[in-house]
Amino acid sequence: VAPPLALDAMPAGAPASPTKGAPAAGAHEPPRVLHEGSPSWLAWFGSYALSALLVVGGVAAAIVLYAKWGSKYPWAPAFGAALVVGGAGLWLVTTFRRRSMRVRITNQTIDIERGLFGRSITTIQLWRVRDVDFSQSFFERLGGIARITILSHDAETPELVLRGVPGSKQMFLELRDAVALSRQGRNVIGVVD
């Protein structure tokens, strides 16, 4: 009778031990990123359009007021300059708000990172999510973006609306399926309050 071979001296092609190198039954799927990035500027198109109108209107008002009353009232173009400053300020605030937010959606969590100078991160575990809704207005559909509304059992963020995410229905379906698998992996059945 030949002595048993040591595990590391096993001949090539021989089956390995089921416990060495094989994933355990029921092991969790590794994190897979479904979406990562800042919301699209198209989600704030109204604010950007208003800021452009204020700047153009302010320049036009300053020119007209200077031509009409500039000699009599030298401060008259200041009204137009105030509109330009207001429009530029609105553009900057909108851009900073949009760029200071990053969304990372994986098959396990949704992470919202906010802040340019300071930083705060909100995380929602997918197994806590109750419902995921996808919606697109006509203009969002033209721009290729969408809104995803997430209802969860998270105490801090029971409702989360993600604006300006890519309008891919495929990404939404992957998120919905990831929620179902995550709830199933945690044995969360039905609605839990």
Give the pLDDT confidence of 125-168 residue by residue, as tens digits.
999 999 999 999 898 888 899 999 999 988 888 899 998 888 77
Measured distance CA(44)–CA(75) in Å, rounded: 34
CA angle 181, 186, 188 (to 5 degrees): 85
Q: Could you tell me the strand order of the sheet in which 101-106 lies?
A: 33-37, 101-106, 109-114, 120-125
Predicted pLDDT of residue 88: 96
Cα(140)–Cα(46) distance, integer angstroms: 12
Contact 125, 109 (CB under 8 A): yes
Asked if residue 110 has pLDDT above 60, the reply is yes
22-64: per-residue pLDDT in tens? 433 334 667 888 889 989 999 999 999 999 999 999 999 988 8
Check pLDDT > 90 for residue 111.
yes
Confidence class of residue 93 from pLDDT cuts 50, 70 and 90?
Answer: very high
For the segment 90-101, the average pLDDT, to the nearest whole number, is 93
Assign 65 to helix, strand or coil. Answer: helix
User: pLDDT-based confidence at 190, cuts 50/70/90?
Assistant: low
pLDDT tens digits for range 69-84: 777 777 778 888 999 9
Average pLDDT of the chain, as a whole number = 81
Which structure tokens are listed for 162?
């993600």
The mean pLDDT of 118-131, rounded to a whole number, is 90
